[in-house]
Structure 1
């Protein structure tokens, strides 16, 4: 049952539950958030081949229970681990792939230099591929994009993937370690889907599909009164668009709740998601500026 429109300051804001199969499809087909950055991004035709297979009704019917069982075995529930688990499932069940290694450690004299997210065999051309993947959400602060928790920044993450995470697989120590396990690397791919959120601009409603961020006062002043069904999104719901019938428990979203950090919210019009954004604590902007200046 749908919840009534709510203001963030005092009334309940319903949460939603994740649709894991929709999240799987989103993880496979969503565009990378920085496609112009020089990384070996996965080509479009490879995205399409992955998505088309898991979009088939017969595949969904056969494998949806297996996906739920796969996710129930997760020992940790961080969003990055959830995202990697969706990809591990895809590599395990898509006929074009064989999963050879996941989080493969590269060590030198007992010191871990890094881990390779995935090593897979691409069956159509019998090549071994190293994949580095990341799921990222950033809020715009001037020329920078910073993570809602202020522990991450887009330019730093991209540089690390280009300068460390991908090159380490080509190092001599990695080559020796891989060969000891019967593995080689023929080519590499990067995947970094996610969303980029811009500051809420003035009193006008964001355009459909726009991504925004604001503090609680800005939300109450400009968005909460509009006739949309606002929902809070727990982290597993940050991937695919929400469904209008996926409400669960409602609870107040007030300053005390935001004290734990930014929260992601979305609105739907009864048919589809129409708006998505982050609500941030009142001091988030000043702390974000401090973080940028420190780096």
Structure 2
């Protein structure tokens, strides 16, 4: 995780931080079909230049994190000179077979890319989404066996050729965070596809909060603040956060994401900000049952 003096936190605009993190944050996976550092990553960054120099910043109107993540990638591509297309529906006899997230022309090849932003909590052999409906193993299998092969189907090849696309490669871009159990008695086994340098956090049940959140300053994150390390104008003490979390989980079962933060003096404004140092997820005691 970044230190408070990391240049990343000099990006005072949240959209700029999300935009930068969407491209250059640690990959969640590193395998044959989802490399941590494909060559065209650095090519795209060079093509598009620095987001801080772009004339206009577009803010996504989406509320779902996955769609916000896709829109950030589209913004990068809009500032490159690459040809690209997104959300291409593949059909056969009027029936939709699936959708391709992204097609890019690097000048050397046409690539089909699937984009994913995911957050999972580790427990035993499972990595489960906060809402319990999503599992990392299922997402890996679905991406590898269903989404990536879609562009290689004869129906897709014919439809794409008519659009001037001839993809020779299919790969996935995974971003997000894996939350490890704060309870040392709970194990969490990683799938072999996971990148060893992935973004890591911690999770605990609500009743264990007083055991783990004992010092420092914290920020409770809104859903749209999950994407990148937060820079906040305010922070709360550990004691206040424990009290707030206790009140929340007495009435609600909704997981809460929070960040432990350290003070940062903004050189440009002279105002104190709080920079994220560690990401946490707190879930109801009955989770994941």
Instruction: Compute the TM-score of the two structures, normalised by the length of structure 1.
Output: 0.75
The correspondence for 1:278, drawn from 261, 278, 281, is 281
Alignment correspondent of 1:43: 37
- Measure, in 2, the Cα distance between the counterparts of 1:274 and 1:257: 28
Instruction: Give the Å deviation of 1:247.
Output: 6.8
Residue range with higher mean Cα deviation, 214-223 or 81-90: 214-223
Instruction: Give the Å deviation of 1:54.
Output: 5.8
Task: Rate the CA distance shift 1:91–1:102 in 2: closer, same or farther, 3 A.
Answer: same
Instruction: Give the Å deviation of 1:155.
Output: 1.1
Query: Does 2:169 match 1:187?
Result: yes
- Measure, in 2, the Cα distance between the counterparts of 1:131 and 1:258: 41
Task: Rate the CA distance shift 1:93–1:266 in 2: closer, same or farther, 3 A.
Answer: same
CA contact (8 A) 1:42 1:189 kept: no
CA RMSD of aligned residues (A): 2.8
- Measure, in 2, the Cα distance between the counterparts of 1:42 and 1:216: 34
The correspondence for 1:267, drawn from 239, 260, 278, is 260
Alignment of 1:1-295 (within 5 A): 19-36=14-31, 38-41=32-35, 43-51=37-45, 56=50, 59-63=51-55, 65-68=56-59, 71=60, 74=61, 76-95=62-81, 97-99=82-84, 101-123=85-107, 125=108, 127-201=109-183, 211-223=201-213, 225-226=214-215, 228-245=216-233, 252-253=244-245, 254-256=247-249, 259-271=252-264, 272-285=275-288, 287=289
Per-residue Cα deviation, 1:98-153 (whole angstroms, up to 9, x for no partner): 22x21100112222111000112113x2x221111100110001011111111111
Task: Rate the CA distance shift 1:45–1:119 in 2: closer, same or farther, 3 A.
Answer: closer
Task: Rate the CA distance shift 1:145–1:262 in 2: closer, same or farther, 3 A.
Answer: same
Instruction: Give the Å deviation of 1:61.
Output: 3.2
Higher relative contact order (CA 8 A, sep 6+): 1
Instruction: Give the Å deviation of 1:190.
Output: 1.4
Mind listing any 5+ residue stretches in structure 1 that lack a counterpart?
1-16, 203-208, 288-295
Instruction: Give the Å deviation of 1:51.
Output: 4.0
CA contact (8 A) 2:29 2:35 kept: no
Q: Secondary structure at the match of 1:67?
A: coil
CA contact (8 A) 1:129 1:187 kept: yes
Mind listing any 5+ residue stretches in structure 2 that lack a counterpart?
1-11, 185-198, 265-274
Q: Secondary structure at the match of 1:135?
A: strand
- Measure, in 2, the Cα distance between the counterparts of 1:108 and 1:153: 30
**Matched residue count:** 249
CA contact (8 A) 1:84 1:133 kept: yes
Task: Rate the CA distance shift 1:244–1:159 in 2: closer, same or farther, 3 A.
Answer: same
- Measure, in 2, the Cα distance between the counterparts of 1:40 and 1:215: 32
